[in-house]
Structure 1
Amino acid sequence: MATEDSPDKFEDVVNRRNFMRIAGVTGTAMLAGCGDGETDTDTGTENGGTENGGTENGGTENGGTENGGTENGGETDVQDVTVKSVAARSMDLLDWNAQYAGWPNIWGRWLVYERYAQYNMVENEWIPRLIEDWSIDGTTVTINIRDPHNYADGDPVTAEDIKVNTVMNLATGAAFADVFESFNEPDEKTLEIETNKEVNPSILEFTILSQLQQAKMAEPYDELYQRYWEDNEDGVSSDIQGREPQEPDFVSGIFGQQSKDSEQYILERNPEHPDAGNVNFERYRFPTYSGNQSKWEAMIGDSVDTVMSIFTPSNIRTQLADHWQEYNFPGYWGVGYVFNFDEDVAPHLSQRPVRQAITHAINREEVVTAAGAQVKEAFPTPAAISANVQDEWIDVGGQFSAMQGGAEKAAEIMQDAGYEKNGNGNWAMDGETVTFQVVVPSSWSDWVTATQAVVPQLQDAGFDAEINRVNNINTVVSNGDFKMAARPWSPGNARSSFPYFPLNWVFGRAYNNAHSYPGGEEGNEIEVPAMDGDGTMSVNVQQRLSDLSTATGDEVGEIVEELAWVSHQDIPYLPVINKREQSFISTRRLSAPENDEPAGNVKWPPFYAPRIGKMQWQGE
């Protein structure tokens, strides 16, 4: 019973190299946001951060002492005990390659590989970690590595290591990989990155800062670095993503692997980590659970202490003991519906009036109620900007209407476009009925529930629609073999708090423009009604996205509004649900941060809180 935030099987469990062939480098990289991947990169000067990142925006100079921990770890009595958690999926799918974005990676990577910086998902602020401060000055990015910070083997994390890790990220499809020009290491703990043009500081921070430090300038990464960065060799990305290490290459995080077998993996405290003094338990155990039902049973039976992420409906939540502390924070993604613009495949849904009629026919509030209102919210308006920040960028409910006119408004739009109801009460044109399936991943139970609420609304509005649950939706969508499919409306994670990333996603980057959106092609202009209501306006979407990537000041808001308007009118994707994450810590044996603390609003509380002394063993 897997869900959007905890799929227990990788869709149809495609072979890694076959998946990369289907989705391409861009597709696999952007999928990282859909399954808690690590290439999400966060915040910015227009969205609540500071120009330099630095320590003004929620962090501390020493990389994480604000929440009750000690500077550089200090000393604490370590108990010879094991904290029990759950694994995401069966062990035969799991490995330690965080560079592979197709999802069969281990949840414990958040503990074993250190983040460059942590992002507060509520306050939209950075919390420094491995990188203790940074600055952006024109085309120069300067990052300073926390000192001391060592790997588990005692070697220091150096600027060379940050360089090779960053290059691995660029090789596997990070946004704006082509603007990275050169690297310079003034000293062991300082890395300077030169770009070939000025890029919006928010985007650079998102691109760089929330990586995990998996690589080191040593075997095998030194060779991969040479081949990609120095020799410009083709195919290196597949070699990076295709690796399936059964133990971490280099442990930079607060735990390392003790063992891994067919049933579980066990992590052990890394005493070399500068915050090791804040961790007072020796091991962290992650056994396999077959699905959400078994995880819920483990939580109800108090046989586990933490769960990183699990969709937990209210009827299950009421069965949990009071000592379970739940954390909810924005996920910046959720259920959306992508339309195919290929007229041969989708002759009706490729037409804007039909998409607009569908938008009016789907009552988003009712879908949220069906799918779990506790941790989901309906989009105020179907513009491709996260519901959490729409009010900061556009006139929600005014110029950007909700488009929730129901079946009556849908009928008006369809009739104006030349459609008529046939003898079956379905919309048709020239004898051809508007017939389509809404494809949804069968293993994501709450997405199926949402789509089960959507389809009857479409039928009531005169569309000959039906649900189609598939096990291989990545293959279906990547091949363009669909008319309307349930897919994330953004690349997800904290980066989607900044409008560039979801706009870029819906306008073509998602799945290598598998929905054939005309605006996804360079040079194409999209004509939509003018924002002032007088006539039309033409927008070169790709050019304006490029402009946004380098814009600063007031120009950022102007471009965002223009592109959001195109997404609102043309609807390449229909965003329906904005999800909130669910993460759990049991206080039966552990201490836990309060919900409103920064440690309760990051990905993920059970993994970040130990670092700062906010999740400690308290005994049976």
Structure 2
Amino acid sequence: MSKTHTGRGQRELRKTRRRFLQSIGVAGTVGVAGCAGSNKEAAVDDAGASTASDDDTTGGDSTTQTTESVEMTDRTFATATTNVPKDMQFNPYGQKYPDRAALALFENLLYVNEATSTFMPGVLSEWEIGDELVTLSVRDGYHWHSGEAVTADDVAFKLKLDIHDGATLSNIVDPEDVSVVDDSTLELGLKRPVAEEVFLYSLKPIALDTPPAEFQEFLDAYEADGEAPGLTEKTLDEPNGTGPFKFVHARNQELLSERFADHPDADNVNFAGMRWDYLQSNQKQWTALRSGNVDGIDNVFTPDNIAQSYGDDIQEIPMPANWGLGIMFNHEHEHYSQQKVKQAIQYVIDREKLARTAGSKMHVPVEVPCGLPGNFDDSYKDWLGDSLSEFNKYEPSTEKAAALLEEAGFSKQDGTWVDADGKTLEFPFKIPSGWNDWTAGGQSVVQDLNEFGIEASLNPSQSYWGDIYGNQEYVVAGLGWPDGKLYPYFSLNKLLNGFRSRGILKFPRSVEVPPLGEPNGETQTVELEPELEELAGLTGEAAKKKTQELAWIVNQHLPMAPLMEKIDQSWLTTDDWNTVTEEDVSAIVDWPQYYLPREGKLTAKPE
């Protein structure tokens, strides 16, 4: 049975934190000219109480925080949101749901430390995962903000609704197999055995944010007809939450919440509330942090020159994103449905130059395009093992790229690559507008391709998300290639079998693959869905071997072209706030501003 704690020693966790920081070359803090410490607030677009580390201290001006009770203050923690607060809606299945503020207003079922892949309790205190049945225990002491106690019925309700709605959990649990044992226990029947990491990561995005009184009609509709018309259109201006902060109001420029005294971790929170100021651009958030108008920001890309303008009271917390820029190919396109064309693109792009251009402090190039995250600390190599040397690294080579295009029937005319019918090989690279690092990186990609003779353009788009997920109007586009989780199943499933692969990339459901390490060997047909289903249930050496086989498929077929990985940058000020030191791994949970108060590791200093 998985318990509240994982048994990892604090020294081991500090080593993990140091290894992560060393891998990105960040000291953990950068300096500024001093003020911060206002009571203004603001956010941006997946446990049990952790004990303090051996070198934690309290008192005076120390910024280190323990879980001991602290004096209550009237401070409000200010952070930022890029969403207009008065337009926010608190229906998690609809539009304009404030996913970052929701981390304070609602309680997740569990939390994940992404530096150590450690699962920690939220609403769930314990879990026992068998081959056929999962038993979940609900932590005592949670209440809806309307006053009712949270029970296993509430958790079962949420899980059934999410499964019907197609959440990741629906791949391994049917809604009729969710049952309540008693007020604090529920059981889930599994469709097939799954690895513990696969099951728990499937719970990671789920928060207790659907009070049955508001959503019962939709679960009833699902159970009666298999559909719930109106679920995505339902509006909720005021949430009935379960988190440590309760909604007060949402106005044009701010969302305000107050400390909720009936939360089980309320004794660890010694400040009056949180506020999110509407700051819709990176530049406005940088200015607010520098001027002390906010006390922290959950995640904002910050170039070195901006970070160096900050003072000693602004602390950076690098967060492993397990995510980064890749190229989505539309596999219904006449050119980008061809394996050799995709491979040629991967050869042309200088990934090291790309990472430097995007911001070398927070980006690293993908070393081996195989669908596995972990390029910051080389953890992907642990999964590939001795097979690593067999994979194609796609080191920049215009000669190899040219040979591949020629094999695919392309030729160069007046310096531009054209197909056998004379059609120009174009690369209209669509990216989300306003993403500074991707804009800079995209320019590097386009430059490489144009110099090679592919007609490339960079197209930042305000309608990006609608174009990609709605109209699917794209030829090539930039989007994250990994799934945001270090465990390899999730990124491999995303690339080869999941919704992205099927619905957006239009990647085929079966592929011809040569033996691992023999790219010119005789191919065999591989059906992708059963392969990913098998991987989900494997552990140990069997999981490692299957991971290598599927990573080889990504390496050869490139459903997306993995280019780089990034580190997210989270920020806290320390003039009015006590928080963790850079040695404390407990900050590496999405996101520190919302998780650390639960642990008593982000507290207000006496006024």
Fold match by TM threshold 0.5 = yes
**Match of 1:526?**
511
8 Å CA contact retained: 1:407, 1:460 = no
SS of aligned partner of 1:421: strand
Relative distance call for 1:93 and 1:142 in structure 2 (3 A) is: same
Is residue 375 from structure 1 mapped to residue 362 from structure 2 by the alignment? yes
1:306-330 deviation digits (Å, cap 9, x = unpaired):
1111111111101111111111121
Question: Secondary structure of 2:309's partner?
Answer: coil
Question: What does the per-residue CA deviation read over 1:475-496, in whole Å, with 9 as the maximum and x for residues that have no partner?
Answer: 322333222111221343xxx2
CA drift at 1:65: 4.2
State whether structure 2 residue 531 is matched by structure 1 residue 557.
no
Report the alpha carbon displacement of residue 257 of structure 1 after superposing the two structures with TM: 0.9
Query: Does residue 108 of the first structure (1) align with residue 58 of the second (2)?
Result: no
Q: Is the 8 A contact 1:164 1:221 kept in 2?
A: no
Residue in structure 2 matched with residue 605 of structure 1 by the alignment: 592
Partners of 1:115 and 1:447 in 2: CA distance: 30
Give deviations 1:70-105, integer Å, cap 9, x for gaps. Answer: xxx9854321222211123222442223344x6642
Which residue among 211, 233, 257 is the counterpart of 1:242?
233
Secondary structure at 1:170 match in 2: helix
Farther-moved stretch of structure 1 (469-478 vs 377-386): 469-478
Q: Any residues of structure 2 matched to 1:9-408 within 5 Å, and which? A: 52=2, 55-56=5-6, 63-67=48-52, 76-100=70-94, 104-177=97-170, 179-180=173-174, 181-216=176-211, 218-228=212-222, 230-231=223-224, 233-236=225-228, 239-249=230-240, 251-342=241-332, 346-388=333-375, 389-395=379-385, 398-408=389-399
Once the 2 structures are TM-superposed, how far is the Cα of residue 336 of structure 1 from its aligned partner?
A: 1.0
CA 57–414 in structure 1, closer or farther in 2 if over 3 Å, else same: farther
Equivalences for residues 380-529 of structure 1 within 5 A: 380-388=367-375, 389-395=379-385, 398-478=389-469, 479-492=471-484, 496-511=485-500, 513-515=502-504, 517-519=506-508, 521=509, 525-529=510-514
Q: Is the 8 A contact 2:431 2:461 kept in 1?
A: yes
Cα distance in 1 between the residues matched to 2:501 and 2:227: 18
1:239–1:512 CA distance, 2 compared to 1 (3 A): farther
Check 1:324–1:422 CA distance in 2 against 1; reply closer, same or farther (3 A cut): same
Q: Contact conserved, 1:88 with 1:107, CA < 8 A, in 2?
A: no
Q: Give CA deviations for 1:42-89 in whole Å, capped at 9, x if unaligned.
A: xxxxxxxxx7465326699x72242489xxx98543212222111232
* 1:614 lines up with 2:605 in the alignment: no
Of 120-129 and 395-404, more deviation after overlay is shown by 395-404
Identity of aligned residues (%): 26
Give SS of 1:315's match. helix
Write the letter of the residue equivalent to 1:528: V
Q: 1:149 is paired with a residue of what secondary structure?
A: coil
The unaligned stretches of length 5 or more in structure 2 are 11-46, 57-66
Q: Which amino acid aligns with 1:110?
A: L
Is the 2:50–2:586 Cα contact (8 Å) retained in structure 1? no
In terms of mean alpha carbon deviation, does 121-130 or 467-476 score higher? 467-476
SS, match of residue 574 in structure 1: strand
The answer to whether the Cα contact below 8 Å between 2:195 and 2:536 also exists between their aligned partners in 1 is yes
Q: Is the Cα contact below 8 Å between 1:400 and 1:568 reproduced in 2?
A: yes
Cross-structure match for 1:21: none
CA contact (8 A) 2:328 2:505 kept: no
Deviation at 1:219?
A: 0.9
8 Å CA contact 2:6–2:118 kept in 1: the answer is: no
453-462 or 553-562, larger mean C-alpha shift: 553-562
Distance, in Å, in 2 between the alignment partners of 1:221 and 1:531 is: 49
Residue 277 of structure 1: CA displacement?
Answer: 0.9
Aligned-partner Cα distance in 2 for 1:427–1:408: 17
Task: Give the 3-state SS of the residue equivalent to 1:465 in structure 2.
Answer: strand
Q: Which amino acid aligns with 1:603?
A: D
Give yes or no for contact 1:386–1:499 (8 Å, CA) kept in 2: yes
What is the TM-score with the length of structure 2 in the denominator?
0.85
Given that residues 86 and 251 in structure 2 are in contact (C-alpha distance below 8 angstroms), is that contact kept between their aligned partners in structure 1? no
Matched residues, number: 551
Deviations 1:192-224 (A, max 9, x none): 1122332333222122244211123x3123332
SS at match of 2:310: coil
- The corresponding residue for 1:7 is none
Distance 1:66 1:211, change over 3 A: farther
When residues 451 and 421 of structure 1 are mapped into structure 2, their CA distance, relative to the original with a 3 A threshold, is: same
Aligned counterparts of 1:131 and 1:515: Cα–Cα separation in 2:
34
Structure 1 residue runs of 5 or longer lacking an equivalent are: 1-50
Deviation at 1:565, TM superposition (A): 0.7
Amino acid at match of 1:480: Q
Indicate if the aligned counterparts of 2:416 and 2:424 stay in contact, CA closer than 8 A.
no
Alpha-carbon separation, structure 2, partners of 1:550 and 1:562: 15
Q: Specify whether residues 556 and 106 from structure 1 end up closer, same or farther in structure 2 by C-alpha distance, changes over 3 A only.
A: closer
Classify the secondary structure of the residue corresponding to 1:426: strand
The Cα of 1:171 is off from its aligned counterpart by 2.4
Partner Cα separation in structure 1 for residue 534 and residue 571 of structure 2: 41
1: distance between equivalents of 2:434 and 2:513? 37
Counterpart Cα distance in 2 of 1:514 and 1:187: 40
Preserved CA contact (<8 Å) 2:110 2:121: yes
Would the alpha carbon gap of residues 149 and 176 (structure 1) be closer, same or farther in structure 2, given more than 3 Å must change? Answer: closer
Counterpart-to-counterpart distance in 2, 1:322 and 1:516 = 45
Quote the Cα distance in structure 2 between the aligned partners of 1:67 and 1:253.
Answer: 23
Over residues 506-545 of structure 1, what are the superposed CA-to-partner deviations in whole Å (9 max), with x where a residue is unaligned? 22424472445343x3xxx311332141322321112211
Please tell me the residue identity of whatever aligns with 1:527: E
Q: Retained in 2: the 8 A contact 1:59–1:66?
A: no
1:169 deviation in Å?
1.7
The alignment yields a C-alpha RMSD, in angstroms, of 2.5
Matched residues in 2 for 1:587 and 1:57: separation?
30
Q: Deviations over 1:270-320 (max 9, x none)?
A: 100111111111121111113111111111111111111111111110111
Contact 1:99–1:168 (CA under 8 A) maintained in structure 2:
no
Offset at residue 367 of structure 1 (A): 0.7
Q: Equivalents in 1 of 2:179, 2:315: separation in Å? A: 45
> Equivalents in 2 of 1:531, 1:564: separation in Å?
10
Is the counterpart of residue 536 in structure 1 residue 503 in structure 2? no
CA distance in 2, matches of 1:106, 1:153: 21
Q: For 1:568, what is the secondary structure of its paired residue?
A: helix
